[in-house]
Structure 1
Amino acid sequence: MNGPLKRAAVACLLMFGLLMININYLQGVRAEELREDARNTRNFYARYEIERGRITAGNKVLAESVDTGDSRFRFQRRYPEGEVYAHVTGFFSPESESGIEATHDSLLDGSDASLLIRRSLDLFTNKHTKGANVDLTIVPRAQEAAHNALRRSNKRGAVVALDPRTGAILALVSLPTYDPNKLSKTDKGDVFSFYNKLDKDKTQPLLNRALNQTYPPGSTYKVITAAAFLEDDSSRAPETIVEAPQVLDLPNTTADLPNSGGAACGTGQVTLTFALERSCNTPFGKIAMDLGYDAMLEQAERFGIGESLQVPLGVVASDFGEKEDDAALAQAAIGQRSNRMTPLQMAMVAAGIANDGTVMKPYLVNKIADSEGSVIEEADPDELTEAVSPETARKLREMMVSVVRNGTAHLAQIPGVEVGGKTGTAETADGRPPHAWFISFAPAQDPQVAVAVIVESGSAGTEASGGQTAAPIAKAVMEAVLDR
């Protein structure tokens, strides 16, 4: 009698043990896999039970959850001005998020550990739990000015505006754009169909060109080459004479470096200011060859070039290019060859010069508050790098003001405001018209805004220049920030 009972007991213990192993395996090993399984409709419906927090900027609501009255999909995300802010807010879809919706997902849906007390109070008072609200540094009038001005160009491109004193991102626009409302519907079929259409679009509307696309910076990079020249010898000044041949002889190649259109640069010996005003190529190519690759790379890195940033959106690293020969170095020094920059990086360059040589860490989130308004987190501006000395920054500002006043960027002039800037026309490898660039800051004596604009494949002829195509866009953004 005892034998059968013992065997039964052992069998029961064995089965119980196997059951516990299976439960632990499912919960500890396969939990995430099962949670993300497309067949798990419970999670799908649970996404819409939560009233996510708002995303705001200034006095505008950029994203909010609205009650649909549907018991299955109670809350749906709405973006009142979706296309203007799409590359900032991102989208909240049935199975994924992007932009701020992704970087701050746990705060917006209320599950973040920092909201534990808030959730506990809501439970105790029987309140419906809401997510935290995320307030951005974007200035709506600047964002809208950037979007509208770039859209009027009827071209792809990007605009970034920064507060040079803090690093706060005041505008961040990428065109073409998309409507995040169409990606935030509850019908998976409609959402996936629209996403696939956007993903296959050759114009890449989902790409955030301001942060995730690098371009040859063209002549806007000459301000960094000028910075390296001035930092190399503190006695040098905007009036320092530099060699400016009509064509610069490059070693190891028959493809020498001319000025734009093969034109002469003054008399062949000009001031550094004149070279920047006229955007001559040969003086800056020669400066780079004289300084050498290491000095040019060091100056680039001091502006933050090469760093991968989180603002909190991810930013691809800009790159001055690998060490090759002097011919390649001369071309990189004028923003060509393998020199590649994001629009954010070039805005940081302008901001660093405006801010007495200090580049501040760019950031997009101003503050985070719970549903009752209690602040959980607030921006704390921080220095990124010391790009140049205050004295060198003063010299560069003086030269860039002269570019707007007397040189290639007169269309960026704002009545009653002293503006500093630098144009750029970047050749492309595929034979398309060149990209038009412009970087700037204002007011020159008390800079409150720094801007970078790129218009892809500007247009043929003189209209392709940064001064004709990109400078007016930057002017509109600066005026919006300064409320002119």
Structure 2
Amino acid sequence: MNNAIRHTWVVSVGLFITLFAALSIIQVGVTDELNANPNNVRQLYEDRGAPRGAITVDGTAIAESVPSDNSSFDYQRVYNAPELYSGITGTYSIANATGLERTLNEYLSGQSDSQFFDRIASVFTGDTMDGGQVELTLDGDLQQLAYDQIPDGTRGSIIVSEIATGDIKAMASKPSYDNNLLAVQDSSELVRNQEQLEADEDLRYTSRAISTTIAPGSSFKLVDLVAMLESGDYEPDTVLENPNSITLPNTNTELPNFDRGICDQRPQAELSWIVAQSCNTPFAEAALELGEDPIRESAEAFGWNSEDLGIPLEVATSAFPEDLADAELARSAVGQESVTATPLQMNMVASAIANGGTLMQPTLVDAIRGSDLQLLSTTEPEVLSDVTSEDVADEITEMMVEVVETGTATRAQTGSFDVAAKTGTAEIGDTGEVNSWITGFAPADDPQYAVTVAYERIDYDTGSSLTAPGLLTMLEAAIE
């Protein structure tokens, strides 16, 4: 009798181990292969109708799965306040996934390695397994305010980031769209809705703040300043020639100073005054004196030409070209020619200067939790690069304060704290339109938040009336 019981026990244990091993192989080893099989229609319906985890801001779901009215799918993906967040969350549809829905799909669908035992448990219990919950760094009030600051009918972006951590607190852009139109569970309706959305040539499915690269204009001079001050040949009080225009090398093309300012009042001026008034010719001549390499190396330290930046959304690459002719280098130094930047890239420039020359990894994700709210992953502050020394960063900060006090960004003044900023205006051919920029931070003596405001293809007067006041509004809201 004892032998029979022992044999039965051994066989039972063996069967359990075999079953556990088989489940493990299916769950870990061949899940992706089975799910990707084009003949696995059942899996397609299960995936598209599964209860994915929520994406939250301030504890409130901005993307969630609710019971579906469609008999083919158990759950429907729903997006709340879609105009505020669609460029960030993206969409999970019957066709594909975009945005955070794609980059964090393993967690949201419950298929990450850290959710393995939850999957095993759901097999034995027969319960439907909910996906993981993604908690964003965004502040809902700041996101709403940033969105409201951008006038309808413009192509604009506003980013607010926390300097010490790299956490993105707001990232809004217009035009936006309702991603619920893409989360429908009927393929014909999806096609019609896509055609409707894409009739707007300015539509971006991903936030313009990270997907659009445009000429940064004079805001790029912050990059030049790092190279200039690090060379040892320039100081804030160095007096430079300031001709009203120069002829670019080996061309008949003139590069003028900013014609809406007062640069023509001083044929020679200190570097700090030149920065405040955003004069072009001294920066162009400094670039020709330094050569391409120092400026490109400075740009790359801030993140230009990097193709692997993720927040974790994929970020378009800001470009500073190589092997420039002298005329191209001179124009590049003032943020024209082939130099491009995302609004996030210029926010990273301001953040690094504010942080004493240390650039933090920007991020949108604070934490990820399992279906039972246990912590699966958390984002710790991470240094992305040491761009420059603290002394150089402090000198640039002082010059950026002067930009606000006496220069091109006086509309960003406030009696509450000192603001450090740099404006930029990039001409777009002979269209009369410009890219209008400002990037900066506050308080200047104890930096907490960096803000970048960018408008694409806008007339100069409208752009300049929106950028500095927009920056100040966001800084006041974030700090106060």
TM-score with structure 2 setting the length:
0.88
Corresponding position of 1:471: 468
Report the secondary structure of 2:110's partner residue. Answer: coil
**Are 1:131 and 1:370, in contact at CA under 8 Å, matched by a contact in 2?**
yes
Q: Deviations for 1:336-390, whole angstroms, at most 9, x for unmatched residues?
A: 0111111111110000100000111111111100011110110022111111110
Corresponding residue of 2:291 = 292
Shift of residue 456, structure 1, vs aligned partner: 1.2
Aligned to 1:392: 392
Asked whether the 8 Å contact 2:224–2:283 carries over to 1, the reply is yes
Go from structure 1 to structure 2 and tell me whether the alpha carbon gap of 1:438 and 1:101 turns closer, same or farther (over 3 Å shift). Answer: same
How is 1:339-354 mapped onto 2 (pairs within 5 angstroms)? 339-354=339-354
Q: Which residue of 2 aligns with 1:252?
A: 250
User: How far has the Cα of 1:41 moved from its partner?
Assistant: 4.4
Over the aligned positions, Cα root-mean-square deviation in angstroms equals: 2.2
Task: Give 1:253's aligned amino acid.
Answer: T
For 1:69 and 1:154, the matched residues in 2 are separated by 35
Q: 1:445 to 1:238 in 2, by over 3 A?
A: same
> Which residue pairs with 2:366 in the alignment?
366
Greater Cα offset, 111-120 or 251-260 = 111-120
> Secondary structure of 1:367's match?
strand
Q: What is the CA deviation profile of residues 127-163 of structure 1, one whole-angstrom value per residue up to 9, with x for unaligned ones?
A: 431100001111112211111101x263112222221
Q: Which residue of 2 aligns with 1:408?
A: 408
* Runs (4+) off by over 6 Å: 30-34
1:153 and 1:401 map into 2 onto residues whose CA distance is: 31
Q: CA deviation at 1:32?
A: 6.6
CA displacement at 1:69 relative to structure 2:
5.5
1:117 is aligned to 117
Q: How far has the Cα of 1:414 moved from its partner? A: 3.3
1:342, 1:143 → 2: CA distance?
18
Question: Does residue 1:280 correspond to 2:261, yes or no?
Answer: no
CA contact (8 A) 1:132 1:371 kept: yes
Offset at residue 81 of structure 1 (A): 0.6
- Looking at structure 2, the residues matched to 284 and 456 of structure 1 have their Cα atoms a distance apart, in angstroms, of 24
Q: 1:103 to 1:347 in 2, by over 3 A?
A: same
For 2:407 and 2:52, the matched residues in 1 are separated by 50
Per the alignment, residue 165 of structure 1 pairs with 164
How many Å separate the matches in 2 of 1:130 and 1:246? Answer: 65
The one-letter amino acid paired with 2:86 is A
Q: How far off is 1:428 after superposition?
A: 1.0
Contact 1:437 1:453 in 2 (8 A): yes
Counterpart in the other structure of 2:267: 268
1:18 aligned residue:
none
**Would you say the 8 A contact 1:142–1:478 is kept in 2?**
no
Larger CA deviation: 336-345 vs 162-171? 162-171
The offset of 1:172, in angstroms, is: 1.5
Unaligned runs of 5+ in 1: 1-26
Counterpart check, 1:203 vs 2:205: no
Matches within 5 A, 1:179-258: 179-233=178-232, 236-258=234-256
Q: Match for residue 6 of structure 2?
A: none
Say whether the 8 Å CA contact 1:352–1:358 is kept in structure 2: yes
Identity across aligned pairs (percent)?
Answer: 36
8 Å Cα contact 1:211-1:343 kept in structure 2: yes
The AA in structure 2 aligned to 1:275 is I
Q: Which amino acid aligns with 2:419?
A: V
Once the two structures are TM-superposed, the CA of residue 208 in structure 1 deviates from its matched residue by 2.9
In the TM superposition, residue 213 of structure 1 has moved relative to its aligned partner by: 1.5
What are the within-5 Å matches in structure 2 for residues 452-471 of structure 1?
A: 452-459=452-459, 461-465=460-464, 468-471=465-468
In structure 2, do the counterparts of structure 1 residues 204 and 49 end up closer, same or farther at CA, with 3 Å as the change threshold?
closer
- For these two proteins, the number of residue pairs brought into alignment is 449
Secondary structure at 2:433 match in 1: coil
Q: How far off is 1:464 after superposition?
A: 3.8
Match of 1:88 in 2: 88
Unpaired stretches in structure 2, ≥5 consecutive residues: 1-28
Distance verdict in 2 for CA 1:332–1:49, change over 3 Å? closer
Query: Could you tell which deviates more after superposition, 373-382 or 121-130?
Result: 121-130
Amino acid at match of 1:421: A
Secondary structure in structure 1 of the residue aligned to 2:80: coil
Structure 1 residues 93 and 430: alpha-carbon distance in aligned structure 2, compared to 1, 3 A threshold: farther
Q: Residue 392 and residue 133 in structure 1: after superposition, are their counterparts in 2 closer, same or farther (change >3 A)? A: same
**Is the Cα–Cα contact under 8 Å of residues 68 and 74 in structure 1 kept in the other structure?**
yes
| Aligned partner letter, 1:96 | N
Please name the residue that 1:481 is paired with: 478
